[in-house]
Structure 1
């Protein structure tokens, strides 16, 4: 104020060269603003009802819908149970072939030496397909992308692997495959 006192006449306030305050940044200590009733109605913006388009716009790109996570996890659990079932079917493959030989009155079943390796490879193959599907689905879920299709693809691949190894084990027993009574016991295909 001392430097402005010489340039301004006495009785008039000095000219303020500072920018005009905005948003209360130069308000005095302890001052608070209370809006008048007119300002309250102007300050409250009207919020439109949410629509499907605004909900889709509010969700950032790359996030999966809310239903995807429970569906994916349910499919993974179902896939795990079916993997356990497929593994048990493959481990009982030689007993099942022995039962077929007994029902058809064929000679005693002597498994080919490759059957043990085929059954073990089938078990590993079906298990690896489920593990790959689970890892892919979890990775997609963590990234926020749709993941329900990963267990479905895994299920299809698991069925293909299971059928391929079952057919390979059955192909090692020509006695059973060449028996004409096989269709009589199980009906026409």
Structure 2
């Protein structure tokens, strides 16, 4: 007892360094458990049968919050509408330049041969940006990941593509770009 008095204060039980028992491993030898008759009936699972309520589809478990799916889908719909607007603007850009020539008395507008290719490439480019954005966002949503940021990035890229191709088409018309009356009509740019 004298050797324990220095390591533990008097009145406290000695510390047990053995691991906690699990699954009856400290039961006396030869002991086995047999359930009572009423416990046997409770332990048997009910027979599998058809339930009246169909099981829900298993939804992937991810880290995305509940608001991410509707926000992402709303942004994709808004992006589709914006893409359709950009495509329609690119389709009528030659008529718009002709209207500017008429307003500024610059004569008839003769589009450069590369304008048709630039307009087509702009339409395809803006459409592909939206398609890639929608595909990526849907794949992220299916995996249960956060995806709202992908339509936002796609919108920025789409605006850059639209402005680049619109500027390229306008750059093919030196008559409009070199007109000194352009600033008088539209003010300081």
From the superposition, tell whether residues 31 and 136 of structure 1 become closer, same or farther in structure 2 (CA, over 3 Å): closer
Q: After TM superposition, give the deviation of residue 20 of structure 1 in Å.
A: 2.5
Deviating above 3 A after TM superposition, structure 1's stretches of 4 or more consecutive aligned residues are 29-33
Shift of 1:18: 5.3
Q: What CA distance in whole angstroms lies between the structure 1 residues aligned with 2:77 and 2:102?
A: 37
Report the Cα distance in structure 1 between the residues aligned to 2:180 and 2:72, rounded to whole angstroms.
46
Alpha-carbon displacement from aligned partner over 1:25-57 (angstroms, at most 9, x marks no partner): x32268768xxxxxxxxxxxxxxxxxxxxxxxx
Describe the SS at the equivalent of 1:138.
Answer: helix
Residue in 1 that maps onto 2:36:
27
Task: Count how many residue pairs are aligned between Structure 1 and Structure 2.
Answer: 143
1:188 Cα deviation (Å)?
1.0
Contact 2:61 2:144 in 1 (8 A): no
What SS does structure 2 have at the residue aligned with 1:64? coil
Determine helix, strand or coil for the equivalent of 1:156. Answer: helix
Counterpart CA distance in 2 for 1:71 and 1:30 is 52
Q: CA deviation at 1:107?
A: 1.8
Secondary structure of the corresponding residue to residue 110 of structure 1: coil
The CA distance in 2 between the partners of 1:188 and 1:145, in whole Å, is 47
User: TM-score scaled by structure 1?
Assistant: 0.71
Give the match for residue 110 of structure 2. Answer: 110
TM-score (norm 2): 0.71
Alignment correspondent of 2:157: 157
Q: Tell me how far apart the structure 1 counterparts of residues 87 and 69 of structure 2 sit (CA, whole Å).
A: 27
- In structure 1, runs of 5+ residues without a counterpart are 1-16, 34-59
Q: How do residues 143-154 of structure 1 correspond to structure 2 at under 5 angstroms?
A: 143-154=143-154
For 1:135 and 1:95, the matched residues in 2 are separated by 33
SS in 2 for 1:128: helix
